Amino acid sequence: MQRGRLAGMTDYPSRLQRAREAVAAQGIDVALVGTGAEFAYLTGSWVSSHERLTCLVIRPDAEPVIVAPRTDIESLEGVATQLRGWSDGEDPYALAVEGCTPRKVAVGSTLTADHVLRFQELLDGASFTLATTALADLFTRKDDEEITELRRAAQAIDAVHAQVPGLLQAGRTEVEVAEDLRALILREHTSVDFIIVGSGAHGANPHYDFGDRVLAVGDPVVVDIGGTLSSGYHSDCTRTYVVGGDPSAAPEDFLDAYAVLEQAQAAGRAAIRPGATAQDVDRATREVIEEAGWGEFFTHRTGHGIGLSTHEEPFIMEGNSLQLAASMAFSIEPGIYVPGKWGMRLEDIVVTTEDGYESLNQSPRELR
């Protein structure tokens, strides 16, 4: 199954040239990028050849080339690279590195193990590294067109969240709410990425989806939703609600914790600036929650990058010393999850600016 070319994102020759410069600067002899988001970012194509090798080959000393099955070459016509087709029975791995004896090879994150192992057998003695890391500056620094698409995605998912309070009525099930959310997401997006409707104790599982639980007045409900635009860019936003719309009907300890969560997310946003590290932002949110006594119930990182993938660098977490820079896009989403009782999460997509950040999501953060 194949997806179309990315609309509006036209400067692929510049992206490919920057990729060549990046691999050269790091002493990489060849980068091998499989199909998926990284391939689409660099070429504009979402082509997929299933188990057969399709690979973008980037070398400092040669023009970029795509090696692909002849059955898929037609789908790649018009991309800003040379094309080399191969047929079943031929060796696409040798074709990909033809004219090159690399000592250092970078492989993309979507190049599957069966392909990586074949390259390792062929290039015995070469060292291998991750192209995603080598090209991180390209992937994480969004250009104006990308930020426009992410802003459009945020507005689209905000429009869905605006309808959520009316869906969370006592007597309905999580499944029924999720079905309504699916229809609403598809009004604003071309596909649904995920839907979480975690009510009551179900909300204490950060990656729950939805089930047959019947909503009751005062139930806390975690609603985390996202979709994909026609351009390939993603939305992702979480809000926590109270069934019936009256927060005073929710458990008292939940209300106390939610006040802390709002403060923690605000602290994380306030820590965003060029030069701060991803770890700094994670610590800013975590310290607020820990000091309030809820630290053991914050069980995941503070955030993740977003673009043509829903989860990508920069990952906002302890141990990530990556320095933030202007035009990086990522989530700020602390959560508190008390097993057997309730959960909560508050998530916005933000973009680092020259002096701070811009929140792309504008949906109200307070309990509704």
Does 181 lie in the same domain as 70?
Answer: no
- Vertex 257, ends 253 and 259: CA angle to 5°? 120
Q: Are strands 104-107 and 30-34 parallel, antiparallel or unpaired?
A: parallel
Residue 312 sits in a domain of what CATH number? 3.90.230.10
Note the pLDDT of residue 6: 56
Name the band, by pLDDT with cuts 50, 70 and 90, for residue 54: very high
Tokens in use for 97? 């590195």
Q: Is residue 287 part of a domain?
A: yes
- % of the chain exceeding 90 in pLDDT: 95
Domain boundary among 139, 167, 198: 139
Q: CA-CA distances (angstroms) from residue 236 to 10, 157, 166, 343?
A: 25, 7, 20, 18
Domain boundary among 95, 123, 139: 139
Residue 31 sits in a domain of what CATH number? 3.40.350.10
Q: What is the pLDDT of residues 61-101, one digit of tens each?
A: 999 999 999 999 999 998 989 999 999 999 999 999 999 99
Q: What is the pLDDT of residues 27-38, one digit of tens each?
A: 999 999 999 999
Q: Is residue 7 part of a domain?
A: no
Closest CA to 278 of 302, 246, 248: 302
Closest CA to 145 of 230, 81, 79, 233: 233
Domain boundary among 122, 139, 156: 139
Does 155 lie in the same domain as 101?
Answer: no
Does 113 lie in the same domain as 180?
Answer: no
The mean pLDDT of the chain is 96
Helix (H) or strand (E) holding 225, with range, is strand 220-228
Phi, psi of 193 (to 5 degrees): -90, -45
Q: What is the pLDDT of residues 124-147, one digit of tens each?
A: 999 999 999 999 999 999 999 999
- Residue-number span of the structural domain to which 184 is assigned: 141-359
Q: Is residue 3 part of a domain?
A: no
Name the band, by pLDDT with cuts 50, 70 and 90, for residue 8: low
Q: What is the pLDDT of residues 214-248, one digit of tens each?
A: 999 999 999 999 999 999 999 999 999 999 999 99
In the predicted model, what is the mean pLDDT of residues 186-208?
A: 97
Does 307 lie in the same domain as 237?
Answer: yes
Q: Is 92 exposed, middle or buried, given 0-12, 13-18 or 19+ CB atoms closer than 10 A? A: buried
Note the pLDDT of residue 50: 87
Q: Is residue 95 part of a domain?
A: yes
Name the band, by pLDDT with cuts 50, 70 and 90, for residue 9: low
What are the DSSP calls for 84-113, one per residue? EEE-TTS-HHHHHTTT---SEEEE-TTS-H
Does 131 lie in the same domain as 230?
Answer: no
Q: Is residue 2 part of a domain?
A: no
Does 145 lie in the same domain as 129?
Answer: no
Note the pLDDT of residue 80: 87
In the predicted model, what is the mean pLDDT of residues 247-252?
A: 98
Note the pLDDT of residue 49: 84
Q: What is the pLDDT of residues 133-189, one digit of tens each?
A: 999 999 999 999 999 999 999 999 999 999 999 999 999 999 999 999 999 999 999
Query: How many other C-beta atoms lie within 10 A of the C-beta of residue 168?
Result: 22
- % of the chain exceeding 70 in pLDDT: 97
Name the band, by pLDDT with cuts 50, 70 and 90, for residue 198: very high
Does 127 lie in the same domain as 46?
Answer: yes
In the predicted model, what is the mean pLDDT of residues 273-300?
A: 98
In the predicted model, what is the mean pLDDT of residues 321-330?
A: 98
Does 306 lie in the same domain as 157?
Answer: yes
- The answer to whether 221 and 197 are in contact (CB under 8 A) is yes
Tokens in use for 36? 């998926």
Q: What is the pLDDT of residues 15-30, one digit of tens each?
A: 999 999 999 999 999 9
Note the pLDDT of residue 2: 40
Note the pLDDT of residue 161: 98
Q: Is residue 331 part of a domain?
A: yes
Provide the β-strand partners of residue 199: 221
Phi, psi of 355 (to 5 degrees): -125, 15
The runs of H, that is alpha helices, within the chain are 12-25, 37-43, 92-96, 113-122, 131-134, 136-140, 144-161, 164-167, 174-188, 252-270, 278-291
Q: Is residue 364 part of a domain?
A: no
Does 101 lie in the same domain as 45?
Answer: yes
In the predicted model, what is the mean pLDDT of residues 243-269?
A: 98
What are the DSSP calls for 118-161, one per residue? HHHHHTTT-EEEEHHHHTHHHHHB--HHHHHHHHHHHHHHHHHH
Note the pLDDT of residue 125: 94
Does 242 lie in the same domain as 195?
Answer: yes
Does 178 lie in the same domain as 70?
Answer: no
Q: Based on the structure, what is the number of domains in the chain?
A: 2
Q: Is residue 90 part of a domain?
A: yes
In the predicted model, what is the mean pLDDT of residues 197-222?
A: 98
How far does CA 21 lie from the centroid of its chain? 25
Considering only residues 2 and 306, tell me which one the structure prediction assigns the higher pLDDT. 306
Does 186 lie in the same domain as 288?
Answer: yes
Is pLDDT of 366 > 90?
yes
